[in-house]
Structure formats: structure tokens, C-alpha cells
């Protein structure tokens, strides 16, 4: 069945700390994963993606780690800022001709000043 879920629904961190948001997926055939950030009242904003032939990818202040053995994905945000406060979703694309993204429920990140 379709299942992309997150371990923690909420995460509260202090400004300047690093944040780690986790995601579990169930379909071993998934070959592409994306992290989106969604602020209140807005559409999802692309943060970073990773393909299944990689286990790590870095962007500006963000790193995505993929562990295919345990079907686990994480998003690391370095030096978290108040502007990072939002709901973060992981999404998977299962390929094989299906273009749809399967989203998890989301983790709400709150950054305290």
C-alpha cells in the first residue's frame, strides 16, 4: 500500500541548533525522494531531492540522507533559523511510469529564538 510516514509530528529547536527530521517509506521500488517545506497558507516549496542510487546529498544548509536498507530518509538543517519554521514533508516517486508523488503527513518544525 501507499505509505510514507514521519516519526515525529512536531519538532521544537533553538535558533542556531541543527534540526533532523525523519521519514520512513514502505515501497522499496521508490527511486526518487523530495523534501518540501510548507509555510502556513502557502504551497509546498522544494528543498532538496535525492535519487535511490545515492545515500547523501547536500544543499545550502540542508542535507538529505537515504538509507535504503531500512527505508529511511532524513533531512538535516544546519544552524536552524526562525525562517525555517514550517511543516516539512517527505515525498516519494515510485517511478515505473507513475509520476505522482506520495506525501507523508508532515513534521511541524518550530524554531525558538
Partner 1 sequence: NAGVMQNPRHLVRRRGQEARLRCSPMKGHSHVYWYRQLPEEGLKFMVYLQKENIIDESGMPKERFSAEFPKEGPSILRIQQVVRGDSAAYFCASSPMTGVDEQYFGPGTRLTVT
Q: Footprint of partner 1 on this chain (CB under 8 A)?
A: 4, 32, 34, 36, 42-46, 49, 89, 91, 93, 98-106
Q: Tell whether the torsion through CA atoms of 32, 49, 26 and 89 is positive or negative.
A: negative
Task: Return the number of the residue (4 or 111) whose C-beta is nearest partner 1.
Answer: 4
Q: Taking a C-beta distance cutoff of 8 angstroms, is the pair 64, 50 a contact?
A: yes
Task: Return the number of the residue (29 or 79) whose C-beta is nearest partner 1.
Answer: 29
User: How many residues make up the chain in this entry?
Assistant: 113
Task: Return the number of the residue (12 or 18) whose C-beta is nearest partner 1.
Answer: 12
Residue 45 C-alpha cell reads as: 516549496
Residue 79 C-beta: closest distance to partner 1, Å? 25
Q: What does the alpha-carbon distance between residue 78 and residue 44 come to, in Å, rounded to a whole number?
A: 20
Residue 14 C-beta: closest distance to partner 1, Å? 25
Amino acid at each position: 500500500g501507499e505509505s510514507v510516514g514521519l516519526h515525529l509530528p512536531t519538532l521544537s529547536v533553538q535558533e542556531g541548533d541543527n534540526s533532523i527530521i525523519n521519514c520512513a517509506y514502505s515501497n522499496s521500488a521508490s527511486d526518487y525522494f523530495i523534501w518540501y517545506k510548507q509555510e502556513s497558507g502557502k504551497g509546498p516549496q522544494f528543498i532538496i531531492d535525492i535519487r535511490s542510487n545515492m545515500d547523501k546529498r547536500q544543499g545550502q544548509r540542508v542535507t538529505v540522507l537515504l538509507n535504503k536498507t531500512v527505508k529511511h530518509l532524513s533531512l538535516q538543517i544546519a544552524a536552524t533559523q526562525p525562517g525555517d519554521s514550517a511543516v516539512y514533508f517527505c515525498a516519494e516517486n515510485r517511478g515505473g511510469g507513475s509520476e505522482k508523488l506520495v506525501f507523508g503527513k508532515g513534521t511541524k518544525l518550530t524554531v525558538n529564538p
